[in-house]
Amino acid sequence: MTMLTPQEQAEVRRRQRSRSIVTALIIGAFVILVYAISIAKMS
> Which tens digits make up the pLDDT trace of 24-39?
999 999 999 999 999 9
Q: How many whole angstroms separate alpha carbon 26 and alpha carbon 13?
A: 20
* pLDDT band, residue 13 (cuts 50/70/90): very high
pTM for the structure as a whole:
0.75
Q: How many whole angstroms separate alpha carbon 11 and alpha carbon 5?
A: 10
Q: Is the pLDDT of residue 40 over 80?
A: yes
Give residue 16's pLDDT: 98
